[in-house]
Amino acid sequence: MTGMRWLFAGLLTTVALSAEDGMMPGWEVREMAEELVANGESVAQILDNVRPKEWIQDGAPEAYIQQHESLQKDLESMVLSAQALARDPEKLSYAVDTFLWLDRFHSMTTSMSAGVRRYQSAPVADLLDAATGKSAGAIARLKEYMRQLAVATEQQMEIADSEAQRCRAEMVKRPQ
């Protein structure tokens, strides 16, 4: 039982140290994730107005159709992962998933926006760029948060391992 107290105290210390070292607080991560969800819904509405099938008659490559469908699916995946991150901001896999979907979405949006500008409407492309740009800052913040979360997790694992080794050594010392 004493070992469990030490382990618990160590984990609390790690969490406290993480907060002191500049770890983004959970409420801020939730807020960022909720902003990503809201912005994703705005971008989805704009993408609903993008009509790449109609561009083909103007000489656009058919690849825009698949790209548009893929972009919509990626956006949906990004929104779902951001919702999961908002529910559980300390789960590293949710932060990584959200970051990867967001990064992929941003890279694909640039090409889609160029197609919208050329084959559909410059104002719609401007709307898409502006809506996508709102989440650009989240990429850097999410990347830093993932690093912070990974460091905190490593610290927790080191403490757990150290405590496990200490407990093992005590058990070996006990007479049988």
Residues 6+ apart with CB under 8 A from 71: 47, 105, 108, 109, 112
For every one of its 176 residues, what pLDDT tens digit does the chain have, with 9 covering 90 and above? 444 554 454 555 445 444 446 788 999 999 999 999 999 999 999 999 999 999 999 899 999 999 999 999 999 999 999 999 999 998 999 999 999 999 999 999 999 999 999 999 999 999 999 999 888 888 889 999 999 988 888 888 888 888 888 888 888 887 76
Domains of the chain, each with CATH number or no CATH: 25-148 (1.20.120.230)
Residue 132: is it exposed, middle or buried by C-beta count within 10 angstroms (0-12/13-18/19+)?
A: buried
pTM value is: 0.76
